A = this chain, B = another copy of it.
Amino acid sequence: MADFNLMRRLAHPGESKIVLFVMDGLGGLPIEPGGPTELEAAHTPNLDRLAVEGCCGLSQPIAPGVSPGSGPAHLALFGYDPLVYDVGRGVLSALGIGFDLQPDDLAARGNFCTIDEQGLITDRRAGRIPTEESERLTAKLRAGTALEGYDIFVRPVKEYRYLFVLRGPGLSEALSETDPLVVGKPSLPVRPLDDSAEAAHSATLVNEWLDQARALLADGTPANSLNLRGFAKDPGFPKFPDVFKLRAGAIAVYPMYRGVAKLVGMDVLDAGANIEEEIAALRRHWAKYDFFFVHFKYTDSRGEDGDFEAKVKEIEKVDALLPRIRDLNPNVLIVTGDHSTPALLKSHSWHPVPTILWSPTALPDNARTFGERACVTGALGIFPAADLMPLALGHAQRLNRYGA
């Protein structure tokens, strides 16, 4: 992983440009034994040329065997060891819907649930109510709950999930969760997890809000109660531009990826609504930044759908647009994914992710196409995703020599 002390010591400003192009969930698997993966099946003349000119390898996001969520997977690509730089669920939930989290806000993930007359939980997800129902319930909570001296934000996320944010002085994330995680038990009260006055105060506030909220929902069906999990504040990570001495711009259509980029101090740029507009944004902002993170979502989406052919088509769509990025003449162009999402598994997976690091100073290797099997033969080997940023800085000639 990137050694931040070393990077702070060696990194220096410069004129060179780095593009980190992330095809979400890029890595895949054969849909039938012996067949090609999605990336191997795709017709990708431009990516293949990039693989020949650059060097290839397989990026491991977190640790062997571990499937990453989007937040940690992107932190790794940004050079942050995701096992050290751990982001709380509440904060990821806020990032995921583009909520403008402030440094002292306390955020939590909520679930609407169903309870019986004794207050015992009968369905932790309230029958997976649709998002529209969640929108109605969160509006009701916004209108009907209040805590003196604090702002309360309650936002729908997806289906039975919502976001709860408390804004005001002296809040702590050291709080226990209310969800007992099994049915047949009552919700738990929030308890402070340390001896600080802030944790005690925060527990009192959140419990008071839960009382108000549950009273409002009590007559509803099927959602007649709620829980809160993953209390978290902005973790205050070292800032990417300070560590790597890069003016960094993030171009992403989806809120989660904009949010993670913001969390590490990148400027979030106006990305438009699709990959063509994202690349147009890249061109528009080219002069003003040294580093660009560009995110493409749909390789992951089609993988999650289990639609092998559709994922192949998304890869081919990106391939066709690659020349527009190369025309900008970046000094370093990285094409990778944040994790694998094989259509076979319909889910994020633990498999290392095909990666090209292109630069005029790339070490030559034997990879002649861009694909999982070719990347196994590449000069990058199987490497921790968080090593990519130091490598990119090396190839961008932005690191001083270590020692004489």
Contacts and interface: CB of A to CB of B under 8 A. Distances in A.
A308 to B, nearest CB: 14
A33 interface: yes
A376 interface: yes
Contacts of A64: 383, 387, 390-391, 394
Contacts of A62: 402
A263 interface: no
Contact of A6 (B66, B93, B351, B402): B66
Nearest to A68: B402
A255 B162 CA distance: 56
Interface stretch (A124-132, A142-150, A192-200, A341-349): A341-349
A256 to B, nearest CB: 9
A93 B404 contact: yes
Interface stretch (A100-108, A178-186, A284-292, A362-370): A362-370
Interface size range of chain A in the complex: 35 or more
A69 to B, nearest CB: 4
Contacts of A349: 361, 394
Interface stretch (A81-89, A267-275, A320-328): A81-89
A399 interface: yes
Given A69-B403, A399-B66, A394 B350 contact: yes
Interface of A: 3, 6, 10, 29-30, 33, 37, 53, 58, 62-73, 82-83, 86-87, 89, 92-93, 96, 342, 344-345, 348-352, 360-361, 363-366, 372-373, 376-383, 387, 390-395, 399, 401-404
Given A65-B394, A73-B403, A87-B403, 14 more contacts: A3-B63, A29-B363, A33-B53, A62-B402, A64-B390, A64-B394, A65-B395, A66-B390, A68-B402, A82-B402, A86-B403, A93-B404, A342-B361, A365-B373
